[in-house]
Amino acid sequence: MLMRSKAPLRISFAGGGTDVPPYSTERGGCVLSTTIDKYAYGSLRLRDGKGITIHSLDYDIVAKYVVEEDLEYDGKLDLVKAVIRHMNGHINGKGLEIYLHNDAPPGSGLGSSSTLVVALLGLFKHWLHLPLTDYEMADLAYRIERVELGIEGGLQDQYAAVFGGFNFIEFYGPTVIVNPLRISPAIWHELEYCLLLCYTGKTRRSDNIIKTMVTNYEHGREDTIAALDQLKEIAVQMKNALLRGRLDDFGALLHEGWLCKKRTARKVTNPHIDTLYEAARRRGALGGKLLGAGGGGYLLLHCPFDRKHLIAEELERLGGQVVKFAFEQNGLETWEVR
């Protein structure tokens, strides 16, 4: 029997950075996001004998681990090792074969690393019939990635991948509240039609950018704190604009949020990204932002419907790669193949 899972990647519209401790624990944060039809996939099959074989289909890597001592964190498949170590008491020496695949590389700004952890946890939950709620699944994914492995970042990606759909997610110290948004189909389809997603041509290590932002906050840098406070307020305003169908306001707030994001840390942007963004604005884009912590990955733009094709042509001319996508309503899903 083969067990499979998939968890959706996400687009964060506003509030990114306010979900990162210690800001989120001391001042509270909020994020507006949605999931899209790009996924992290996992497959699990029981096999005879002992040991675990991991197939990373994206990197054409096959790794075999026989005993727990093999699962040393060495920079190779550490996210996978951390999940297996956490589940080791349930595995009880059984032989496993695990296959992993992601529609976006790490550093893309779509939450791919966290989503992969969620997909892998989903496999074990399904196989072992673990009584974990959605909140517990997201919290466990967060603790494995951020606490166990010490990878810098926030809380939003894990909750987006588990819950799916449009959510306004609030962070109050250790408490996370996921508020699903009831958006009318007309608003949903119009926003999807007006958004453009462009790959900037490179990925980046987000943890270094996040570490700089955290250091700025901890050192009391006023501009960083003010920018994070403003990002939080913009997230609330964007949620209200979205629910009321004021999509031009939504696009303008994307631009305002991007200006704030650039104030939180150096290297959030670079000359190539600035060139793409400024060209899109000259062609008529109402606003946009770089997804994730910054530095590379995917650029999201809100475009007038009759200018979107012109903006796409200009971005492609400048070296960007426009990528089709659609919104995804569902979160983590698992199933069996017999």
157: annotated active-site residue: yes
> What residues have CB less than 8 Å from 68, skipping those under 6 apart?
85, 88
What CA–CA distance (Å, rounded) separates 68 from 76?
15
User: Which amino acid is located at 250 in the chain?
Assistant: F
Question: Burial level of 158, CB count in 10 A (0-12/13-18/19+)?
Answer: buried
Q: How far apart are alpha carbons 47 and 230 in whole angstroms?
A: 53
Q: What is the DSSP letter of 69?
A: G
- Quick one: CA dihedral 81, 208, 277, 34, positive or negative? positive
Kindly name the residue from 157, 223, 248, 306 that is annotated as catalytic. 157
Q: What are phi and psi of 281, to 5 degrees?
A: -65, -40
Buried b (16+ CB within 10 A) or exposed e, 237-273: bbbebbeeebbebbbbbbbbbbebbbbbbeebbeeeb
**Dihedral angle at the C-alpha atoms of 281, 287, 291, 293, nearest 10 degrees?**
90
CB atoms within 10 A of CB 49: 8
For the chain, counts of helices (H) and of strands (E) = 11, 13
Q: CA 23 to CA 27: how far, in whole Å?
A: 6
Q: Which helix (H) or strand (E) holds 244?
A: none
As beta bridge partners, residue 2 has: 45, 337
Report strand pairing: 52-56 vs 95-102.
parallel
- By annotation, the residues acting in catalysis are 157
